[in-house]
Structure 1
């Protein structure tokens, strides 16, 4: 029997100006950190076999995207716009549903974009929040 699950019940939280985590409402989907390790060339004049050599460099966790049902003037709308205007680093928490205890990913982000998309008759309004990860993230079962 499979242990596969849908994302139903997932949550995304972002810190406010007082460092209190606030759950974003109407979240449709979100991405997770995608750690990539850069490589630094370490080739020298006597590298074996005239081959380039590399060593591991810094780890970049990249960006997160959170898609929401956009509700103009909502608490989530105000929080995102205020975080981007402030230009500060905010805590985040992503909650992933599991059949046992949920899994949490936590760290710090900077809001770098809030694309409120196209507004069209007959279509729901969506917004995409872009967040740049800064520093290391942690992952563990929910407390």
Structure 2
């Protein structure tokens, strides 16, 4: 039997766009997203000769329903101010839910309620509810794209740990690493850290990061370190 493809929701994002999708703003510290739930209206089409005295129904219009999410409530934060402003303005914006496998659902809506909760002995949260208008469009997953190149932290010295920072990527990828000396892959150096050895002295070190998701992969390489020095 095939292994399950099920996954948890961790890694999902909720973005909004006020310019019809040209730019997107991430709403921070969101959890427990409830995507839009369409329902189909029922039209009673019963008539005097309906067979067997049984009511007849036909499908009506589709009601796109609501969408919602919980978020950590941080008064005065960028997300708090943005949500509050959209509610007051009654602004209709585009919303995008990006799932962990990089599939995205895009819909239009306006905020129907913004409800912060401030308990005595637990974290503050807020519930944001959107009234969806129009249909929801599902966008297939796209391969990752690197938008800010990887970087290396640490001192290029024998015995000192170098740490790879993957940079910024679209598509919620997972990462693999290949460390290189003078552009040549170092055997076995595939972790997110690398400790230079004597043979690296005088070499410039780079790290190539490959981001992978369900739709494909892409790679990006950091800038070189200074030449490795002896301990």
TM-score relative to the length of structure 2: 0.57
Give the C-alpha shift of residue 47 in structure 1. 1.2
Q: How many residues align?
A: 138
1:86-101 equivalences in 2 (<5 Å): 86-98=89-101
Specify every segment of 5 or more residues in structure 1 that has no aligned partner in the other structure, as ranges: none
Helix, strand or coil for the counterpart of 1:116?
strand
Structure with larger Rg: 2
Could you tell me how far apart the structure 1 residues matched to 2:97 and 2:47 are?
44
Residue 84 of structure 2 aligns with which residue?
81
Residue 8 of structure 2 aligns with which residue?
6
Residue 123 of structure 1 aligns with which residue?
122
Residue 47 of structure 1 aligns with which residue?
50
Could you tell me how far apart the structure 2 residues matched to 1:95 and 1:15 are?
14
Specify every segment of 5 or more residues in structure 2 that has no aligned partner in the other structure, as ranges: 143-231
Could you tell me how far apart the structure 2 residues matched to 1:66 and 1:23 are?
13
1:8-47 equivalences in 2 (<5 Å): 8-16=10-18, 18-19=19-20, 20-47=23-50
Which deviations, in whole Å up to 9, do the C-alpha atoms of 1:35-75 show, x marking residues without a partner?
11110001111111221111000111211111001110111
Could you tell me how far apart the structure 2 residues matched to 1:23 and 1:119 are?
26
Give the C-alpha shift of residue 28 in structure 1. 1.6
Higher relative contact order (CA 8 A, sep 6+): 1
Which deviations, in whole Å up to 9, do the C-alpha atoms of 1:72-91 show, x marking residues without a partner?
01110011001001112111
1:65-76 equivalences in 2 (<5 Å): 65-76=68-79
Give the C-alpha shift of residue 119 in structure 1. 3.5
Give the C-alpha shift of residue 21 in structure 1. 2.3
Structure 1 residue ranges (4+ consecutive) displaced by more than 6 angstroms after TM superposition: none
